[in-house]
């Protein structure tokens, strides 16, 4: 496993779905940054299961216990560690996954890689439950970015082809994302819920696309070639289970544009350089340009479905039919929205900490 991330901050995520606890350590964070536990809890609740009819009925309070790194409401410079004990006992639901792997899951590849020693209960370390510690770290980073005037938000751009309005690429409407179901257009959200409901009723699942925007980023963040903003964000976002695509700005759509359409013309606003369009997604040459950072992540449909599927028995060496038992979200996209934000917050915090070019004020007003 390589469940560690970061060049300057060092994030390490641990735990298995049905193990004793899940958690994270976050090293390299400066001392003196404020921590608001209630704000963090509110953020974690957006990811937590069991809140709505469209998510798994498994209900588990994701309340982190901080073990180190925070003192009297501020970071103390020491590594931060936080855990959540798992309350669900190890069930027998997953007994035969090592022999008969679920299509679309990591059961087979884990069996090959870890030779049968892997913890397969609930997907083990591959479970979506491991996004909870990612959200602990990301929720903290998000708070610290807000202290610097950097704000981020994400919404569901589509589920099963039902499409929400996209963010305005110049002025993303972060505050207009519905708190209940994270879309901009409530009627689109209603259509998505219906699609989820239909999938559940037929023992099936659906996927979708999440769009994320970050505003307030100073220009000059990112370390090309391989530490550019796209590289660093894509690396961590692909660490979220089920993500199969990541694009920035116009993304795949840019491939159909002409240069004269895709290039963002420069302009000046109150002496600050801006662009009149934002096909670059706020990134030129891997470095932020001061416009809104925009990216989208494609989430495949939940692989766990109750409808029968073709699998194989590794021991018997024969083809079998498999119906996945247990409680599963027919669509994980709504709960993945804060996870995408968390991943981006971690990557951005890491890049800001790694910025060794003089000081940030210079970057802000640095034209001359």
Work out which of 52, 151, 245, 327 binds a copy of itself, going by CB under 8 A: 245
Binding positions for a copy of itself, 83-142, rule CB under 8 A: 83, 101, 103-106, 108-115, 117-119, 124-126, 130
Say how many residues touch a copy of itself, by CB under 8 A: 158
Nearer to a copy of itself, 57 or 116 (CB): 116
CA pseudo-torsion sign 327, 332, 337, 341: positive
> CA–CA separation, 158 vs 252, rounded Å?
16
- Contacts for 232 with CB less than 8 Å, ≥ 6 apart: 222, 347, 350, 351
- Asked if residues 217 and 331 have their Cβ atoms less than 8 Å apart, the reply is no
Contact window for a copy of itself (CB under 8 A) among 43-51, 135-143, 170-178, 295-303: 295-303
Residue 15 lies near a copy of itself (rule: CB under 8 A): yes
> CA–CA separation, 134 vs 304, rounded Å?
22
- Contacts for 71 with CB less than 8 Å, ≥ 6 apart: none
Cβ 296 to a copy of itself, closest distance in Å?
A: 8
The interface mask with a copy of itself, positions 198-237, x = CB under 8 A, is: -x----xxxxxx---------xx-xxxxxxx-xxx-xxx-
Nearer to a copy of itself, 175 or 268 (CB): 268
Cβ 176 to a copy of itself, closest distance in Å?
A: 22
Cβ 22 to a copy of itself, closest distance in Å?
A: 7
Nearer to a copy of itself, 48 or 332 (CB): 332
Q: Which DSSP letter does residue 128 get?
A: G
> CA–CA separation, 241 vs 25, rounded Å?
20
Contact window for a copy of itself (CB under 8 A) among 50-58, 164-172, 175-183, 283-291: 283-291
Only one residue has tokens 């996954």, namely 97
> CA–CA separation, 268 vs 367, rounded Å?
12
């Amino acid at each position: 496993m390589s469940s560690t991330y970061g060049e300057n901050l060092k994030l390490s995520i641990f735990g298995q779905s049905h193990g004793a606890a899940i958690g994270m350590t976050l090293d390299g964070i400066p001392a003196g940054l404020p921590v608001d536990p209630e704000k963090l809890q509110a953020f974690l609740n957006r990811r937590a299961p069991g809140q709505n009819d469209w998510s798994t009925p498994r209900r588990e309070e994701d309340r982190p216990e901080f073990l180190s790194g925070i003192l009297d409401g501020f970071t103390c410079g020491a590594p931060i560690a936080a855990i959540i004990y798992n309350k669900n006992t190890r069930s027998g639901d997953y007994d035969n996954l090592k022999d008969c792997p679920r299509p679309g899951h990591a059961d087979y590849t884990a069996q090959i890689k870890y030779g049968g020693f892997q913890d397969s209960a609930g997907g083990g370390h591959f479970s979506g439950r491991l996004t909870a510690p990612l959200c602990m770290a990301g929720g903290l980073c998000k708070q610290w970015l807000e202290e610097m005037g950097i704000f981020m938000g994400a919404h569901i751009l589509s589920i099963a082809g039902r499409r929400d309005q996209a963010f305005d690429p110049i002025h993303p409407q972060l505050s207009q994302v519905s708190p209940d179901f994270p879309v901009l257009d409530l009627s689109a959200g209603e259509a998505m819920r219906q699609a989820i409901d239909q999938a559940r009723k037929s023992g099936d699942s659906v996927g979708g696309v999440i769009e994320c925007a970050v505003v307030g980023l100073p220009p000059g963040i990112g370390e090309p070639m391989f530490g550019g903003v796209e590289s660093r964000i894509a690396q961590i976002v692909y660490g979220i289970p089920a993500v199969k695509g990541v694009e920035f700005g116009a993304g795949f759509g840019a491939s159909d544009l002409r240069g004269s359409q895709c290039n963002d013309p420069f302009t000046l606003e109150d002496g600050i350089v801006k662009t009149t369009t934002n096909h670059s997604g706020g990134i030129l040459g891997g470095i932020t340009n001061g416009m809104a950072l925009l990216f989208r992540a494609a989430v495949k449909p939940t692989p766990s479905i109750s409808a029968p599927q073709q699998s194989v028995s590794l021991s018997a060496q024969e083809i079998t039919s498999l119906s996945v038992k247990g409680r599963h979200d027919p669509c994980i996209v709504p709960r993945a929205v804060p996870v995408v934000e968390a991943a981006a917050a971690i990557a951005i915090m890491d890049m800001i900490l790694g910025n060794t070019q003089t000081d940030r004020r210079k970057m802000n007003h640095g034209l001359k």
